[in-house]
Amino acid sequence: MDGRCATPEETLPAVSFRLETLKNRPDFQRASRAPRAAMPGFILQMRRRADGEAEGIRVGFTCSKKVGNAVARNRAKRRLRELARLTLPHQGRDGMDYVLVGRSGATASLPFNTLQSDFVKALGILHGKQRSGPQK
């Protein structure tokens, strides 16, 4: 933190809430075929899991070599993990897989507040709260 008080939307629930992390390639492949929202700093993919699969919110992170060398990829993934940690406990939906894909030159360099507001906007688009195109 930067020394300021946390606002209510920044505070985490009293109960420790740990997001389950996607680790298997088939989970990432299924998410890649699901709806997505492209933002300047990342791409968010969201997949509704079938009945009988694991419960809760699961999240995955990926950055290709296009993002940069190992240092740049790790920095981008750290920022994406922090986005998910701050936002998904409040705005994520049970039974969903979310995959955050880092973008070249943007994920590691955009201001964190911009990434955070874009993440909330992308969740709104994917959850159907907002429309991504002009309304007729």
Q: Tokens 């874009």 — which residue?
A: 118
Q: What angle do CA 129, 84, 95 make, to 5 degrees?
A: 60
The answer to whether the pTM exceeds 0.85 is no
- pLDDT band for position 94 (cuts 50, 70, 90): confident
Question: What is the Cα Rg of the chain in Å?
Answer: 15
Mean predicted confidence (pLDDT) in 85-107 = 91
The per-residue pLDDT for range 35-83, each reduced to its tens digit, is: 999 999 999 999 998 887 778 899 999 999 999 999 999 999 999 999 9
Average pLDDT of the residues of the chain: 84
Mean predicted confidence (pLDDT) in 25-31 = 92
Closest CA to 38 of 91, 107, 93, 97: 107
pLDDT of 14: 46
Mean predicted confidence (pLDDT) in 120-133 = 77
**C-alpha count within 13 angstroms, C-beta hemisphere, residue 93:** 13
Distance CA 70, CA 127 (A): 33
Would you say residue 105 has pLDDT above 90?
no
Would you say residue 96 has pLDDT above 60?
yes
Three-class secondary structure of residue 89 per DSSP: helix
Strands 42-48 and 96-102: antiparallel
How many Cβ atoms from other residues are within 10 Å of residue 128's Cβ? 8
pLDDT of 125: 92
The answer to whether the Cα torsion of 65, 73, 124, 57 is positive or negative is positive
pLDDT of 28: 93
More confident residue, 120 or 12: 120
Distance CA 56, CA 40 (A): 28
Domains annotated for the chain, with CATH where assigned, are 20-125 (3.30.230.10)
